[in-house]
Chains A and B, each alone.
Chain A
Amino acid sequence: MASVATTLTRHRLALGILAFLVAVPFLPVLGTSYMMHILILMLMWSVIGMAWNLLGGYCGQVSFGHAAFFGLGAYTGGILYHHLGVSAWWGIPAGVVVVGLGALVIGYICLRLRGPYFALGTLAMGEVLRVTAENLEWLTEGTRGIMLEQRTWVAKEPYYFVILLVAAAAYVVMEILVNSKWGYYFVAIREDQDAAESLGIDTTRYKTIALVVSAVLTGVAGAFYTCYMGYIDPEIVFALHDVSIITIMVVMVGGVATRWGPLVGAAIMIVLSELVRTLPYVGTAHQTLFGVLLIVIIIFLPNGVVGDFHKIARLLLRRPAAAESGGA
């Protein structure tokens, strides 16, 4: 077993980033309310990205329906608040159970499908849940959505620390999982499901595990979203484009199956969407820019900013870099 000291050295970068993020609210320019809002969204998206990365990046099961889990988590909090009058924060622990069970059902239906068929299956699941939430008015208030009468805190800082804690915990869980037996099994399944099966790996079981862990983490982010934003409706939290697709973009831009990809991807996507929103004369055409960005990434940086960092470094430093391989 590694001693505390070696563990600390090995995770220097992670600890450095954590220290910086903890300090941010107390810094001058970064500590403003607007910047806090940006950082909260960034951290929330990095959690969803990490969750998707486990299933899509490491286990190779590309989901186009993570909005299903995000929305389930968000509505767990919303419904608890709206119908039982308890704090929406209970949505986080309750969401773990609800989303976990939901993922088992979705997994039972979709995990028998492989490759693009799995992707289409999950896409359909996300849409089914959106339409269900829109029509189950007695439970979800339909398209009127659910509004929290008052939010827990007026200041941004407490929300920031909550989501920072969630993101840090998600990071640690990913680190442990990816380097364990499970992580190796996930990658074995991604690389070749038949080979994995014949090497004694119960592929159905481990794909289900990856899906449930990924879903639960996404659900926690969803429940946080309800508490932070104070309003949800099916169009927002079960959105195909604004949740499911953006999740994939976060991971693809950052780097699929890399440790820092989701965080870097979330940072780039959030900053970009804020910048693009302020552009004059563009209007809703800003969505086009994301499409262009995705094309550029796929052609020039197929392993994302983190996975192809050596390419970017070579371009910037204009020196021949040694050939390196991407993340595992």
Chain B
Amino acid sequence: MALLEVERLTKQFGGLTAVNDVSFRVERGEIVGLIGPNGAGKTTVFNMINGFLRPTAGRIRFKDRRIDGLKPHKVCRMGLARTFQVVKPLRRMTVLDNVLASSFLRFPARAEAERNAREVLAFTRLDHVAHVVSGGLPLGLRKRLEIARALATGPELILLDEACAGLNPAELDESIEIIRRIRESGVTVLIIEHHMKVIMSISDRIVVLNYGEKIAEGTPKEVANDPAVIRAYLGGEAAHA
């Protein structure tokens, strides 16, 4: 049984079909990439998995239990955490306090929550800024804080929504390494990413969306050579070139 099963997922906003009949699976221990041009429906898929949106049709199973329609905090409690494309730290709190706030989910006692928070900060290499007020962090570190907050909730599956967008090359390498270590620590990863270097180098499998429909799925190499994918990214002419 797969850790996450998305089955014939559809989401309509009025007359607009944002996601149309999309199915895919994420096995335990995998890193799966979700890619597609702007407006392909990637974040909408995340919002349905995470519980912000109720699907118009289709099913989502996590650990063999239906989670579509469940509230986000319940989904998170089950072990499915997410980050946001637009980072949303608790601006006036320190980095440590930010991570502490999400540590309380698994560790109600403050001392244990704090120990967990410090472990997560060390894991994501944020320990050197633990006492910095998060509003003043540069973008690269804020993005990483977003990952740290999600990890502190003790997830089995983490959804990363463009966790690497806007990073410089050095930060990018560090983030790739952290995502790999997240998987090594036993957490499964589903990642939306525009940065091809990131997605091609870390994904075991890639699911490609275009205009809300799944157009391809496979290893990075298969997907990169898929005519439908090339057409989606480069336009109709390129496929015949």
A198-B92 CB under 8 A given contacts A184-B97, A184-B104, A328-B97 = no
Q: A181-B113, A188-B90, A191-B91 are in contact. Are A200 and B71 (CB under 8 A)?
A: no
Which chain A residues lie closer than 8 Å to B52 at the CB level? 194, 197-198
User: A187 at interface (Cβ–Cβ under 8 A)?
Assistant: yes
Interface segment, one of B73-81, B164-172, B216-224: B73-81
Are B133 and A325 in contact, with the CB atoms below 8 A?
Answer: yes
B153 within 8 A of A: yes
CB contacts (< 8 Å) of A180 on chain B: these are: 110
User: CA–CA, A327 to B133, complex, Å?
Assistant: 11
Given contacts A187-B101, A191-B88, A195-B84, contact A200 B110 (CB under 8 A): no
Tell whether A199 is near chain B: CB-to-CB under 8 Å.
Answer: yes
A302 at the B interface (CB under 8 A): no
Q: Is the CB of A200 within 8 A of B88?
A: no
Q: Which residues of chain B come closer than 8 Å to A187, judged between CB atoms?
A: 90, 92-93, 101
Q: Are B93 and A199 in contact (CB under 8 A)?
A: no
Task: State which size class the interface on B falls in.
Answer: 20 to 34
Asked whether any CB of chain A lies closer than 8 Å to the CB of B126, the reply is no
Indicate which residue in B90, B104, B149 contacts A181 across the interface (CB closer than 8 Å).
B104
CA distance A201 to B149 in the complex (A): 12
- Chain A residue at minimal CB-CB distance from B104: A181
Task: State A327–B153 Cα separation when bound (angstroms).
Answer: 26
* Docked complex Cα distance between A188 and B97 (Å): 10
CA distance A199 to B102 in the complex (A): 6
Minimum CB–CB distance from A210 to chain B (whole Å) comes to 15
Q: Is B26 an interface residue (CB 8 A)?
A: no
A185 at the interface (CB under 8 A from B): yes
Q: Does A137 contact B (CB under 8 A)?
A: no
Q: Are A199 and B92 in contact (CB under 8 A)?
A: no
Q: Are A200 and B92 in contact (CB under 8 A)?
A: no
Q: Which of B75, B92, B149 contacts A325 (CB 8 A)?
A: B92
Which residues from 23 to 76 on chain B have a C-beta closer than 8 Å to any C-beta of chain A?
A: 50-52, 71-73, 75-76
Q: Which of B71, B76, B90, B113 contacts A191 (CB 8 A)?
A: B90
In the complex, are the beta carbons of A191 and B92 less than 8 A apart? Answer: yes
Q: Does B15 contact A (CB under 8 A)?
A: no
Q: A326: CB under 8 A from chain B?
A: yes
What's the minimum C-beta distance from B107 to chain A, rounded to whole angstroms?
A: 9
Is the CB–CB distance between A188 and B72 below 8 Å? no
User: Chain B contacts of A185 at CB under 8 A?
Assistant: 101, 104
B82 touches A198 (CB 8 A): yes
Partner of A198, one of B50, B97, B101, B133: B50
Q: Distance in Å from the Cβ of A204 to the closest Cβ of chain B? A: 9
* Docked pose: A181 CA to B112 CA in angstroms: 12
Bitwise interface map of A from 192 to 224 toward B, beta carbon under 8 Å scored 1, else 0: 101101111111000000000000000000000
Output the residue of A185, A192, A195, A327 with the most chain B CB within 10 A: A195
Least Cβ–Cβ distance between A10 and chain B, in angstroms: 15
Sample of 15 further A-B pairs with CB below 8 A, known A184-B97, A192-B90, A194-B72: A180-B110, A181-B110, A181-B113, A185-B104, A188-B90, A194-B88, A195-B84, A197-B52, A198-B72, A198-B73, A198-B76, A198-B82, A200-B102, A200-B153, A328-B92
* B-to-A contact residues, CB < 8 Å: 50-52, 71-73, 75-77, 81-82, 84, 88-93, 97, 100-102, 104-105, 108, 110, 113, 133, 135, 149-150, 153
Q: Can you list 29 A-B pairs, Cβ within 8 angstroms, ordered by A?
A: A180-B110, A181-B104, A181-B108, A181-B110, A184-B97, A185-B104, A187-B90, A187-B92, A188-B102, A191-B92, A194-B52, A194-B84, A195-B88, A197-B52, A197-B72, A198-B75, A198-B82, A199-B81, A199-B101, A199-B105, A199-B149, A199-B150, A200-B76, A200-B77, A200-B102, A200-B105, A202-B71, A325-B92, A328-B97
